[in-house]
Amino acid sequence: MRNFIKKLKVEYLLGMILLALFVVPTSLNAQDNSKNTDATWIWYPGDYEIWLSNQMQAKRTERGAFFPPLWRYYSPYSLVTFRKKLSLDQNDVVEIHTEGQAKIQLDGKMYYGDPKALEIPAGDHILTIKVYNQEATPSLFVKGNNVITDASWEVTYEDKEWIDASGRTSGESGTHWDQVGSWDFDNKEDLPSEFRLETKPKKAVKITPHKKGYLVDFGEETFGFVKLHGLEGSGDLNVYYGESEEEARSEEFCETLDRLEFDGSQASDFLIDQSRAFRYVNVQPEDGIQLDSVSMLYEYLPLEYKGAFNSSDELLNEIWDVSAYTMHLTSREFFIDGIKRDRWIWSGDAYQSYLMNYYLFNDNPSVKRTTYALRGKDPVNSHINTIMDYSFYWFMGIYDYYLFSGDEDFIKQIYPRMKSLMEFCLERRNANGMVEGLPGDWVFIDWADGLSKEGEVSFEQLLFARSLETMAICAEINGEPDAVKRYNGLAEDLKQKIQTEFWSDEQQAFIHNRVEGELTDKVTRYTNMFAIFFDYVNAEKEAQIKEHVLLNDQVQQITTPYMRFYELEALCALGEQEYVLDEIRDYWGGMLELGATSFWEKYDPTEKGVEQLAMYGRPFGKSLCHAWGASPIYLFGRYYLGVQPTAPGYASYEIRPNLGGLKWMEGKVPTPKGPISVYADRREIKINGIKGAGKLIFKSRNTPSGAAGIQSLGDDAYELAIETDREYKIKYKAL
Amino acid sequence: MRNFIKKLKVEYLLGMILLALFVVPTSLNAQDNSKNTDATWIWYPGDYEIWLSNQMQAKRTERGAFFPPLWRYYSPYSLVTFRKKLSLDQNDVVEIHTEGQAKIQLDGKMYYGDPKALEIPAGDHILTIKVYNQEATPSLFVKGNNVITDASWEVTYEDKEWIDASGRTSGESGTHWDQVGSWDFDNKEDLPSEFRLETKPKKAVKITPHKKGYLVDFGEETFGFVKLHGLEGSGDLNVYYGESEEEARSEEFCETLDRLEFDGSQASDFLIDQSRAFRYVNVQPEDGIQLDSVSMLYEYLPLEYKGAFNSSDELLNEIWDVSAYTMHLTSREFFIDGIKRDRWIWSGDAYQSYLMNYYLFNDNPSVKRTTYALRGKDPVNSHINTIMDYSFYWFMGIYDYYLFSGDEDFIKQIYPRMKSLMEFCLERRNANGMVEGLPGDWVFIDWADGLSKEGEVSFEQLLFARSLETMAICAEINGEPDAVKRYNGLAEDLKQKIQTEFWSDEQQAFIHNRVEGELTDKVTRYTNMFAIFFDYVNAEKEAQIKEHVLLNDQVQQITTPYMRFYELEALCALGEQEYVLDEIRDYWGGMLELGATSFWEKYDPTEKGVEQLAMYGRPFGKSLCHAWGASPIYLFGRYYLGVQPTAPGYASYEIRPNLGGLKWMEGKVPTPKGPISVYADRREIKINGIKGAGKLIFKSRNTPSGAAGIQSLGDDAYELAIETDREYKIKYKAL
């Protein structure tokens, strides 16, 4: 969304989107469903995601105590009706499988027979199947020669149409039908309620006798189920987990532990039933119990690393690898924040995971699952995760999803929930039309000492304006011109106010907040860096922000990889790739130097020794594997390999390689139409594009050669149109 | 609500209620909770009821096929937080039991220890327990010396306060807390999720060999689990149930059946796991299977018959007994419609069950459970049971509950859900301010041939007006004077319109409906009879309705006990007790003559033989045990024994015995303060009252004697104030 939006005005963007709708083949618009030429399990959209996320997020424990999320849980509808209008050339015999009890009706007539052999004669029919399940998500799998469950089915929870402005609805008997949701449960035996992540055995790299038991090192941050081998006797056994050796050794303060009690009847090889995050495990049997050894089952979501990055700088390569591993560890049932603590879905964290995902796995279902899980259902009565900024990131994540996937079906499916959340936000504005923290709202922004959350925070208004623009775009896709106008009007007003009420000519920057009508004199990086990728400032202000904020050490430094993500992105957007690489070497390289095998929740280079492990007032409170630590994946793909979509689903795209001072680099960026490969050194650029309206844009000291049709853009810049998926080799001379 | 409201104007009624709040002792206001001097299981209000009703209503089957309700299901909140502010004189050690996983915090600090031994030091504390349960209702039981779970605990599902009109909330951290719900799970072992109705063995009265098996007669309508005795061999066995012998014999058309398959390893005495309604069972083993005998486990809610009626007319006594049995069979986890078919909670049916309950069991928890189950949660997107009239009966049922119970706590707890349902109704009004069926609405009224549901039906407006009046009363209890004004204003407008737009001077009756602005000329009994107990007509119109509608055979006859209830009530309200007794002897006596052992869904005396068993186009579609068939319980208690509250919770009440031509009658009416006994013959009235402002009102040819303070009211009427619970004996001479 960043440079893309920076260069395109919203009006033009809308044109591009509409154009894209004609250009992108249908199979790409609904790419996740395109594989469902065979039957798949279906459910009410979002319901399985809500159910699964409830289960997953309730797995957090703190020193053995249950620790569920702080926010509201929703549940699936326990009784839903699926329907499909059929037009059959010949008889079909279908088998019907459900998760829950089912009532089957063909053309309104109750079917009393065997659901494995429902005969449907040729002709037009309506097949209706009502499913009840109070414990898990009511789900349906139908398979015949022609009749199969797929994304074309409809579903209702027996909600009725609300009357419209004219006082009437046109809905057939008033029932409101939605398109079903699905994932990839493509066999009748693959019951959605029985979904488990995959596992594989993993051995320890070092097992050291320690006290009565062992200290076990798995060599790197990992996640899974600890297995105790040769377990004999009866009594208690405690397992203390540590992301660091210090934590595992600290029986008193380690964040996670398991207290097990054996009566002697246990299996000799015993698998602990809860998965945990750790590198080290301190296994302490009490008297009466003994064991030989310890291993684990690594638990993971099987995802293909479709993106890649390699370069002349081994440190950067390692940073990319550790970022990718960090990202994989936190990409699970959903995109979670960190694997040791929380294991929850936080919208601000997920928003960054989405962007990293587009450059690593490009797995759309993970984005959709996470988006549904975060949003829950109606009515809305608090912000997402209770955090005001996190509601806004949720909107922004949807637009990015559309840009990277071109999946218009999802935008249509999620749009009603976008509207109700936006109404919630709009109702909470103050008399000045701005949002500020009300009771029940958490204004987060970032973990930073002394950061004010009071009054009208300019950063929140900025995200709010961006969310309103997203609403306008999605309203357009949903064919609601009045809503487009309304949301654009609201966005325009708010953007105007941000400029007039927060910009300080004196400080040449946006001011952080205004409390009870009084502007403070505090400048922070947040509003200023976002204003750059949001294209909310002209070139003059951009330069002022760069000098007076981004490159100004007097402005409070950012210490979370979370906000480092945006800070470095803003600098890349301003062409500071070389500077940013140095920052990455320092910051992420700094963590590696301290032995990181995954990237952290927070890193302050000034902290010493075990200080680095503490957070929230607890000695091992800090997460050492946090999704937002993995941003180099995104930065390398987006600003060095330089690949980005410029219309939804990569209907058009750009490649702007930028070596940032490297001798060479190579890599791949996944797209819905396959990977785009980029190699660049100072003399040659090699591209393997995809079908579509691609553009290679680069600078050269000399006239480049190697392909027909290279256009000069002036100022040493050149452009080459890429239309097919063959290789292009360009000879040039890097500036 | 009937005569009571007839005599008191709403303004006066409000005064009475307010007075009553001072008069009624606290223990009566919250009478259901008064027994909880010990710990009880608690949950989010309404959630357990919703969960249990989902389970119960999904037990309907039709010829073996699952047949869940037609309407929307809600679910419990799966994650809730309970809290109690404590002020302890001395240390307490509490044990904590939960249904679901629990996070315990004392004064915000996480507790990692054994939940059976949480030590709380003396002083002020806040104990917070978060419970997660996706499958059943998250519930909590805490027991210490002083700290116990009871109705005083609060609970939240992490909803936040909505901003009020002034733009702010004052809620502590914005969280919205509700008072908890409970029933009577008063031991830690009584898990709410494991609730089962009680059972007791019952033998058949006749077992006749039939085909390969047996036809079994249990002698009367019953409900429960069939038990097969001496079962041997392997193969199939079919059980066909019948409320009539014809139905049980009809393997092709009986409404309920069980198809069982045995592999030879079954117990010799085999209990079928689903409970069904029947009098007859046709048990048909296939080859390879044999059995000796059949019995059953009768399944029931243990309720005390606190009401009683006996008289000089044995037929009426039998009608009362069969009505009470019918009522008991349909009073289960909730008040359901009928036991064979549906087994669902229908608001119109439940409304009558409530009234019968006040004269038989007087079991408040059953009313509250049913009220919560019917309403579900927010958002509202269809009428209750999808039926417009049934939303209105729901409101009316709440007011009756308050009148009979005086339970102000419940009115406060349910009020937010009353408001949201009322907003739903108000939003659906047409330009004329009236309700008419929109897509998704079912306008029911009654089962009657050719009954029009089109356009503005006067009956629906009448119920709507009554619901608005109920809202005003409950708004007053909730301290919302603006809302009182608004609802009263809306009610007044609508009542005015009903008079001016539906009353026909020509027909001397209310017209049934107006379609597209044109009044039809159709008169039905519905609006006219309700207008009488609603006190919406003056004495002149009352007389006109009596003559031109109620006693006019030209106006379409009512054939359901459902609407017979109101028709006979209207006639009783007009003093036609003697006429009504004859009607009861004919109508309910007619069913008894046909062998009824419980009262039916519908009875048309003109139908012959098996015609009586058919309904909905199915030969055995009719329910032969339907709650709305039991109305004589209510009529006898209310209009013959003549007992009714005149202020909430029987803070004041009336006894107006009316023999209706009987030689003598005697009976009991239960109240929150104990039973009121009434005996009357033509010479003597004996009353055993309750404490409170009771009045005995009766007519006598001579000057009555036997008690001090009998006041003459003129016109042969006398009144005696009853203040204590001793017996009063009055000598008089019946008119």
d(CA B441, CA B454): 12
A615-672 confidence digits (pLDDT tens): 999 999 999 999 999 999 999 999 999 999 999 999 999 999 999 999 999 999 999 9
Q: Is residue B192 part of a domain?
A: no
Q: Which of residues 346-385 of A touch B (CB under 8 A)?
A: 378-379, 381-382
Task: Report the pLDDT averaged over residues A374-381.
Answer: 94
Residue B326, classed as helix, strand or coil, is: helix
**Residues A489, A617 share a domain:** yes
- pLDDT at residue A207 tops 50: yes
pLDDT digits (tens, 9 = 90+) for B8-67: 333 334 444 444 333 333 333 333 433 346 899 999 999 999 999 999 999 999 999 999
Distance from CA of A235 to the nearest CA of B (A): 18
Q: Are A254 and A306 spatial neighbours (Cβ–Cβ below 8 Å)? A: no
Chain A neighbors of B134, CB-CB under 8 A: 51, 54-55, 75, 135
Give the pLDDT confidence score for residue A33 in this predicted structure: 38
- Average pLDDT over chain A reads 92
Q: Would you list the DSSP string of B253-314?
A: T-S-EEEEEE-S-S-SSEE-SS-EEEEEEEEEE-TTEE-SEEEEEEEE-------EEEES-H
Tell me if A63 and B112 make a contact (CB, 8 A cut-off).
Answer: yes
Interchain contact B188–A (C-beta under 8 A):
no
Q: For residues A548-557, give the mean pLDDT.
A: 95
Using one digit for the tens of pLDDT, what is the confidence trace for A569-603?
A: 999 999 999 999 999 999 999 999 999 999 999 99
Domain boundary residue, one of A185, A212, A228 = A185
Q: Is residue A589 part of a domain?
A: yes
Identify whether residues B218 and B350 lie together within a single domain. Answer: no
Confidence of residue A610 (pLDDT cuts 50, 70, 90): very high
pLDDT band at A161 (very low <50, low <70, confident <90, very high): low
Q: pLDDT band at residue A689, thresholds of 50, 70 and 90? A: confident
DSSP codes of every residue in B128-162 = EEEEE-SSS--EEEEE-SS-B--TT-EEE-S-BPP
The pLDDT value given to residue B29: 38
Residues of chain A with Cβ-Cβ distance to B428 below 8 Å are: 163
Q: Does B158 touch chain A (CB under 8 A)?
A: yes
Please name the residues in contact with A108: beta carbons below 8 A apart, sequence gap of 6 or more: A126, A128
CATH of the domain at B264: 2.60.120.260
| pTM over cut 0.95 | no
CB B602 within 8 A of CB B591: no
Q: Where are the alpha helices (DSSP H) in A434-538?
A: 458-477, 481-502, 525-533
Q: What is the pLDDT of residue B440?
A: 85
Q: At what angle do helices B458-477 and B408-427 cross, to 10 degrees?
A: 140
Q: Give the residue on A whose Cα is nearest the Cα of B78.
A: A73
**How many A/B residue pairs have CB atoms within 8 Å?**
175
| Residue A170 or residue A658, greater confidence | A658
Number of structural domains in chain A: 4
Q: Which carries the bigger pLDDT value, residue A327 or residue B20?
A: A327
Distance from CA of B132 to the nearest CA of A (A): 8
**Considering the domain boundaries, does residue B160 fall inside one?**
yes
Distance in angstroms (rounded) separating the CA atoms of residues B305 and B360? 6
Per-residue pLDDT for A120 more than 70?
yes
Nearest CA in chain A to B442: A173
> Residue A37's pLDDT is what?
63
Please indicate whether, in this complex, the C-beta atoms of B111 and A160 are within 8 angstroms of each other.
Answer: no
Looking at the partner chain, which of B55, B111, B440 has a beta carbon nearest the beta carbon of A160? B440
Q: Kindly report the nearest CA distance between residue A480 and chain B, in angstroms.
A: 22
Between chains, do A51 and B111 touch, taking CB under 8 Å as contact? Answer: no
- The CATH number assigned to the domain holding B555 equals 1.50.10.10
pLDDT tens digit sequence for A25-60: 333 333 343 334 689 999 999 999 999 999 999 999
Please give the pLDDT value at position B37: 63
Distance (Å) from the alpha carbon of B159 to chain A's nearest alpha carbon: 6
- Residues on chain B touching A382 (C-beta within 8 angstroms): 158-160, 174
Q: Identify whether A477 is part of a domain.
A: yes
Q: Residue B193: inside a domain, yes or no?
A: no
Considering the domain architecture, whether residues A69 and A28 belong to the same structural domain is answered as no
Asked if A482 and A426 touch (Cβ cutoff 8 Å), the reply is no
Is the Cβ pair B112, A64 closer than 8 Å? Answer: yes
Rounded to an integer, what distance in angstroms lies between the CA atom of residue A505 and that of residue A7?
25
Chain B residue whose CA is closest to A377:
B379
Please name the residues between 419 and 448 in chain B that touch chain A, using a CB distance below 8 Å: 427-428, 430-431, 438-441
The C-alpha of B160 sits at a distance from chain A's nearest C-alpha, in angstroms, of: 6
Cβ atoms A567, A525 nearer than 8 A: yes
Element (H or E) spanning B48, and its range? helix B47-57
Interface test with A, best of B110, B132, B427 (most A CBs within 10 A): B132
Q: Domain check: are B168 and B218 in the same one? A: no
List CB contacts (< 8 A) between B386 and chain A. 158, 160
B103 inside 8 A of chain A by CB: yes
For residue A573, being part of any structural domain is answered with: yes
A20 vs B466, which has greater pLDDT? B466
> Is this complex scored with an ipTM above 0.85?
yes
Same domain, A611 and A674: no
pLDDT value for B691: 87
Q: Which pLDDT does position B528 carry in this prediction?
A: 97
Residue A197 has pLDDT above 80, yes or no: yes
Helix, strand counts (H, E) of chain B: 17, 38
How confident is residue A691, by pLDDT bands cut at 50, 70 and 90?
confident
- Chain segment B496-529, per-residue pLDDT in tens: 999 999 999 999 999 999 999 999 999 999 999 9
* Domain assignment present for A190: no
Q: Are residues A493 and A365 in the same domain?
A: yes
Residue where one domain finishes, among candidates A261, A279, A300: A300
Q: How far is A441 from chain B (nearest CA, A)?
A: 7
Out of A55, A135, A173, closest to residue B439 by CB: A173
Peptide bond into A704 cis (omega under 30): no
Are both B630 and B652 inside the same structural domain? no
Taking CB atoms and an 8 Å limit, are B110 and A172 in contact across chains?
Answer: no
Q: Point out the residue among B135, B157, B379 whose CB comes nearest to the CB of A135.
A: B135
Interatomic CA distance for residues B482 and B475, integer angstroms: 9
A501 touching B, CB under 8 A?
no
Length of chain B: 735
Are B347 and B470 found together in one domain?
yes
Low-confidence ranges of chain B (pLDDT < 50): 1-36, 162-171
Does any CB of chain A come closer than 8 Å to the CB of residue B104?
yes
- Would you state the pLDDT for residue A12? 39
End-of-domain residue from the set A246, A271, A300: A300
Comparing A164-168, A325-329, B605-609, B691-695, the range with the smallest average pLDDT is: A164-168
Among partner residues B62, B65, B101, which is closest to A58 by beta-carbon distance?
B101
Structural domain range at position B101: 42-185
pLDDT the model gives residue A174:
77
Tokens of A112: 């009393």
Residue A585: inside a domain, yes or no? yes
Identify all chain B residues contacting A134, using CB atoms and an 8 Å cutoff.
51, 54-55, 75, 135
Region A494-520: mean pLDDT is: 97
Q: Is the pLDDT of residue A4 over 50?
A: no
Pairwise CB contact (< 8 Å): B63 & A112: yes
- C-beta of residue B85 within 8 angstroms of C-beta of residue B134: no
C-beta separation of A601 from A615 below 8 A:
yes
| Residue pair B16/B473 in contact by the 8 Å Cβ criterion | no
Q: According to the model, what pLDDT value does residue B723 have?
A: 86
| DSSP code per residue over A386-398 | GBHHHHHHHHHHH
Residues B14 and B84 in one domain: no
CATH number of the domain encompassing residue B652? 2.60.420.10
A73 → closest Cβ in B78, B168, B174? B78
| Dihedral, A524, A529, A534, A538 alpha carbons, nearest 10 | 90
Domain co-membership, B666 together with B558:
no
Nearest-by-Cβ selection for A71 from B70, B158, B163: B158
Q: Is A496 part of the contact surface with chain B (CB cutoff 8 Å)? A: no
Residue A163 has pLDDT above 80, yes or no: no
Instruction: Based on the fold, state whether residues A455 and A599 are members of the same structural domain.
Output: yes
Same domain membership, residue A329 and residue A398: yes
Give yes or no for A109 touching B (CB within 8 A).
no
